[in-house]
Structure 1
Amino acid sequence: MKQAASILFAALLVLPFAAQAYESDVHFGLTKWLALKAGYSEQQADTIAVGNQRSDSGTMDSIELTLEYACLGRHQEGSEVAARYHFAAQAQPPASPQQRAIVAGSRAARRGAEAALAAAAEGKAESMLLRLGQGLHLLQDSWAYQGEPDTPDFADKAIPCSPELAWAAPAARGGWNAHRADLTSPWPGDVRAMAAATYEFLTGYAPIAREQRRAESSEAVMRQLDGFINASTKAQKRAWFRSRGIEDTSFLGTVSLPDGGEGFQAGWHVARLVPLEAPQTRQYEVSEELKHFFDRFFSDWLATDKPEHAVGSTIRSDAQRELAARLKLWRLRDHGAAAELAHAAAPFNKKQLASIDRLATAPGAYARYPRLQDAYYPLQEQGPAASPVLPYVIHVLPGSDGRRAIAATKLRHAPYDELGIIAEKDGDAWRAVRLISIVSH
């Protein structure tokens, strides 16, 4: 059994990972540390943490973009998948935000972890560790997302989002276009309650192979959380974990906090994604002209040292200047340092534009990839027909006579966000006119 568990764990490490609230500092790092404190072996703690993090797009079927299922389309199944992994509401979609309100630590939030404990008590403890981690993910997210889910609003009639399908952080916790709900420092009481509930399930899990675990007291464990909760940079999170014996902190590479003076890479997630065969889109039923435009745009944006040139070599208007600035922001490797600007409502003022230029000209500022296709999370077009794996999904916007379109994508160095590039046809040529974003759940 131990050999089989080791093989299963190793296989899981090649599965794709994305990011949802909380982020990997909680879902992987804190979960692993709590499991070690609860007496699990290093391998067992890793397996539980992998099961937890795996809920954030551990398979292609679980990668669901809000832009896709609730805004550019109306796909109830996509909303149901999001609810299954992250949103422990009593009512299932489609339903109003009021009906889908989430209560922290509720019975609905505990159902997955309780099912894992019940199966473990029946003699399946060794084989249910991944399921325990998955159940803990839903439980933990109930503190991050407690309240009524917000609905994205892009102020564009061609991109209306359904309040009956969309899942996002409640307005009181930052809303649909902010990372505030995903962070620990703004919510110390909630993080403590979440950690205590997680620890309760970890210590209540049946012995594995009849070996009794020796857990530290919950009170002693909770007393150590201050440094983790209050850390406002990746470097501070790294110091907290390393002071407690967890040396490999690569899972912190893409959390939505500033680096804090130390370099962090996104390699932890990159190594676990299904690779795209090519950077060009193979999406069906989209004109070759439109696909060619977006292929060229993304190459100019993501594969050069001048991302602003994707707008054009000459900036002639305030709208172009705004878009060029946003293209720079979303190329920054350290998204945590730029998140406030990246999610700010347009237009930028002169001071903000100067700040963006300073960030963009710092050494090693931009995320770079060996191959362009390595920049993307693999996506699939939603709908009844089978879809190839895509770097981005293109939609022609309604009411535009085919002259406005959007490409929705998710980038590996900013996995907690969904991006949409809006383009318009000017005469015979397409040109990018706007970038929109939404925080990924």
Structure 2
Amino acid sequence: MVTLDRRQRPNPRRKPARPELSPADAERAAGLRSMKTIALSLLVAMAVVFAVAFALQAQYPWLQYIRAAAEGGMVGALADWFAVTALFRHPMGIKIPHTAIIPRRKDQIGTALSDFVEDNFLSADVVRAKLDSADIARKAGAWLATPAGAERIAKEGAAVVRGAFTVLNDDDVQAVIEGLVRKHLLTPPWGPPLGRLAERVFEAGHHHRLVDLLVDRAAEWVAGNYSTVSRLVTDRSPSWVPNFANELVGDKVYIELSKFVAAVQSDQNHQVRKSIDKYLTDLARDLQFDPAMIARAENIKGQILGDPEVRDLARRTWTTIKHALLDAVNDPHSELYQRFTTAVRDFGARLVAEDELAGKVNAWIGDAAGYIVSTYRSDIAGVIEDTIARWDAEETSQKIELQVGRDLQYIRLNGTIVGALAGLLIYAVAHAVFGG
């Protein structure tokens, strides 16, 4: 069995090591030690003066005044040393009642400080007034309008996008996209909305260009396919018909077909065009109101977008979006990155130049801060109480002493000086009234 040396065994009575001081606290500790040295030196000086004056006052009666002043100074110095020390610890380790006030009442101090901050600082009116005077919108706008500010926002935004893509699970996102497609694309019937859209298009005559294109292509095909038309006539005529008759019929059919297509092409009010318009108008109406046509549209929808197709669509959509955004945010020269940077700079310039916009932004900031403070003021102030509650008594005393201890040492200095003056005055008055 391994035994521990006595020096290696944990000592339950040993106090935990104090945490290392920060550079600022180390500087405060040095200043506190310096002031304590000065206050103690003044006390020692008063004691030396008192001893000398007491020893020589019989030979030099005027030293009685010096002795009285030194005596009063020592009393004042000792009294104020006791008062200051009693705040943070027991003087000389003696557990005198009502000393070591801060360590003993640490939790009550934390609660009182938390309540004080909550009542006097965490007020919606106070926060709004401070934010209004700060004019955050214009200050932020001036920074955003600079190239460095806009570039910083763009970089942080790119980092947010990269982080989001790192955290997001591809399968989960694809499932969300698939759900949205099913909800907004597949579940609603296609017939009525397609019919309404087509009806507006046909009423406005936007389909006429498409009809013109189809007729032009038909005319081009007929003009370049004489042999095809002749062969169709020959293939469909009886075998006993002579070839010259087939050729005559083929020529006639080709000529009539060419005239027909040319007529449709040149006449915008041709009967074929009117028939197409009527057919399309009836189709748009049937898609809206004819149950059979609506059912056919739904059947076509099901054939086009079945489960495998929807899943593949969701996968390809997410992959495309993800790769496009990542490529854009990773390239400072990409169009998206540049447009975003420009938009940030333009918004910053508007915040500086437009009073109305700056006022709205300041109002939004004030309302948001006021809501947060009003809703969470107790939780925010509770951080102070909870933090102090987690500190041990000695650490709390040390932290507070580092903050105010140097100024408290002036109380000792002032007490020494005031005590010396009071001692001199009291002795002088007593000597004048009662005689020496």
Instruction: Answer yes or no: same fold by TM over 0.5.
Output: no
Higher relative contact order (CA 8 A, sep 6+): 2
Report the TM-score when normalising by structure 2: 0.16
Output the TM-score relative to the length of structure 1. Answer: 0.16
- Larger relative helix fraction: 2
